[in-house]
């Protein structure tokens, strides 16, 4: 039985207002770090300890048209991610690189956390103080406590909205040294909780038990893929991404699903070159140019979570064309309104290039995180 706890509320009050840099300082930092990726890579790769698979992927990627089409923001972010892999290793990516994806340590008096608090009836989870104050190895103590409190708020939100059954079925893997808490004997993290929320949102749009093939664009570390593959063990899962994210998700999912047949990234010129192995594989890893080689209606469900709003406008248009060609169903989740740093490209929910032949199942604001929306379409 859950007991109402004043402990967590007092910790939340203690950490207000947030300890975070201003937006001005943040974007100034981005501009200072905006380098020509290919020139940086040429100098960096020979002087630093990087995994062979990562070098292979990046060397290939910088020769492809999709590299030149990539937003300058992503060139900057990829430099940061590669440096973190070099400095701290793949084995620690959930406390380093993952903070650049969907791991929240940014403060409590923010739209993200205020929205969480507004959508929670009460905080009924009672965790020992040692859990709330748990220090994660690559986080500062302040970051650790902020992370832990937000994780509890996410867990409370999930439980209040019928997600408890998924907590029984899923647990955060130890691969990648995740920041996590112990909840009733289960290892929980923001990654696993956000992925369950996405699974529940996708389930509103279709019967996932009738889905046999999923393609995810921009899968990041592979957190959503992990959730889907665990809850839908018979599906084929295709990930389309750029390095170093593709390197991380390929390494991560290959290690946590050792029983699955993996189609590792490799160059190919035509789908016929890899057709048999592609069809027999459970998890497939591709780069953006290779999506163009897939046959029509290859997938049942196309996912794009937290990625489209960081692209150039022409990239977004191209991916919507791919959705139209490849998929029967489409779920995407983005900021309501955002500007891509460096390129000064603005994206808004009403301007995504939805096709006339797509039937809207739903489009609505997310309860979590704040300022996001999610949409589900059937491709006619």
Average pLDDT over residues 285-291: 97
What are φ and ψ of residue 268, in 5° steps?
A: -155, 155
DSSP state of 361: E
Average pLDDT over residues 315-331: 98
- The per-residue pLDDT for 293 is 97
Average pLDDT over residues 312-333: 97
Residue 8 vs residue 274, higher pLDDT = 274
Q: Give the model's confidence band at 26: pLDDT under 50 very low, under 70 low, under 90 confident, else very high.
A: very low
Average pLDDT over residues 216-222: 96
Quick check: is 127 in a domain? no
Quick check: is 35 in a domain? no
* 329 pLDDT higher than 70: yes
Residue 112 vs residue 223, higher pLDDT = 223
Q: What pLDDT, in 10s, does the model give residues 67-82?
A: 999 999 999 999 999 9
Quick check: is 283 in a domain? yes
Q: What pLDDT, in 10s, does the model give residues 354-370?
A: 999 999 999 999 988 88
* 14 pLDDT higher than 70: no
- The per-residue pLDDT for 108 is 77
Task: State the residue for tokens 């937290």.
Answer: 306
Q: To the nearest whole number, what is the mean pLDDT of the chain?
A: 89
61 within 8 A of 265, measured Cβ to Cβ: no
Q: Which two tokens stand for residue 134?
A: 């748990």
CATH of residue 232's domain is 3.40.50.150
The domain tally of the chain equals 1
Quick check: is 133 in a domain? no
Quick check: is 306 in a domain? yes
Average pLDDT over residues 264-269: 97
Average pLDDT over residues 269-279: 97
Specify the range with the lowest mean pLDDT, choosing from 9-13, 203-207, 237-241: 9-13
Q: What pLDDT, in 10s, does the model give residues 163-195?
A: 999 999 999 999 999 999 999 899 999 999 999
Alpha helices in the chain (DSSP H): 6-14, 23-32, 37-45, 52-61, 65-69, 72-88, 111-118, 129-132, 141-160, 164-169, 190-205, 223-231, 245-256, 275-280, 313-326
* 28 pLDDT higher than 60: no
* 335 pLDDT higher than 50: yes
Distance from C-alpha of 196 to C-alpha of 167, rounded to nearest angstrom: 8
Dihedral sign (CA 278, 102, 229, 208): negative
* 202 pLDDT higher than 70: yes
Q: Mark 143-180 as b/e (b = at least 16 C-beta within 10 Å).
A: bbbbbbbbbbbbbbbbbeeebeebbeebbbbebbbbbb
Q: Give the model's confidence band at 34: pLDDT under 50 very low, under 70 low, under 90 confident, else very high.
A: very low
Q: Give the model's confidence band at 121: pLDDT under 50 very low, under 70 low, under 90 confident, else very high.
A: confident
DSSP state of 299: -
- The per-residue pLDDT for 35 is 54
Quick check: is 256 in a domain? yes
Quick check: is 213 in a domain? yes
Q: Which residue range is the domain that position 344 belongs to? A: 204-379
Quick check: is 353 in a domain? yes
Minimal CA–CA distance to 247: which of 213, 227, 222? 222
Residue 154 vs residue 19, higher pLDDT = 154
- The per-residue pLDDT for 170 is 94
Distance from C-alpha of 363 to C-alpha of 288, rounded to nearest angstrom: 26
């Amino acid at each position: 039985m859950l007991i109402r706890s004043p402990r967590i509320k007092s910790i939340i009050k203690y950490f207000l207002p947030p300890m975070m840099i201003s937006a001005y300082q943040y974007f100034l930092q981005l501009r200072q770090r905006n380098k020509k990726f290919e020139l940086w890579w040429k100098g960096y790769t020979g002087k630093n300890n990087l995994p062979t698979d990562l070098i292979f992927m990046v060397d290939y990627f910088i020769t492809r048209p999709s590299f030149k089409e990539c937003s300058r923001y992503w060139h900057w972010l990829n430099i940061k991610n590669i440096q973190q892999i070099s400095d701290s290793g793949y084995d620690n990516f959930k406390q380093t690189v993952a903070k650049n994806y969907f791991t929240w340590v940014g403060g409590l008096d923010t739209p993200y956390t205020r929205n969480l608090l507004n959508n929670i009836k009460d905080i009924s989870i009672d965790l020992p103080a040692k859990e709330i104050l748990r220090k994660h190895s690559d986080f500062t103590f302040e970051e650790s406590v902020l992370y832990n409190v937000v994780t509890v708020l996410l867990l409370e939100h999930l439980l209040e909205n019928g997600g408890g059954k998924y907590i029984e079925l899923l647990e955060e893997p130890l691969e990648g040294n995740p920041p996590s808490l112990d909840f009733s004997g289960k290892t929980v993290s923001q990654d696993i909780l956000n992925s369950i929320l996405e699974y529940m949102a996708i389930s509103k749009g279709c019967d996932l038990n009738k889905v046999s093939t999923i393609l995810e664009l921009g899968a990041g570390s592979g957190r959503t893929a992990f959730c889907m593959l665990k809850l839908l063990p018979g599906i084929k899962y295709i990930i389309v991404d750029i390095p170093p994210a593709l390197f991380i998700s390929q390494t991560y999912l290959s290690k946590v699903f050792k029983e699955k047949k993996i189609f590792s990234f490799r160059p190919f010129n035509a789908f016929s070159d890899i057709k048999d192995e592609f069809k027999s594989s459970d998890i497939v890893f591709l780069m953006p140019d290779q999506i163009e080689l897939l046959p029509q209606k290859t997938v049942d469900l196309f996912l794009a979570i937290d990625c489209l709003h960081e692209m150039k406008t022409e990239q977004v248009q191209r991916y919507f064309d791919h959705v139209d060609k490849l998929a029967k169903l489409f779920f995407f989740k983005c900021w309501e309104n955002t500007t891509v740093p460096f390129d000064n490209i603005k994206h808004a929910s009403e301007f995504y290039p939805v096709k006339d032949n797509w039937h809207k199942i739903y489009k609505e604001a997310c309860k979590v995180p704040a300022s996001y929306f999610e949409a589900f379409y059937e491709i006619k």
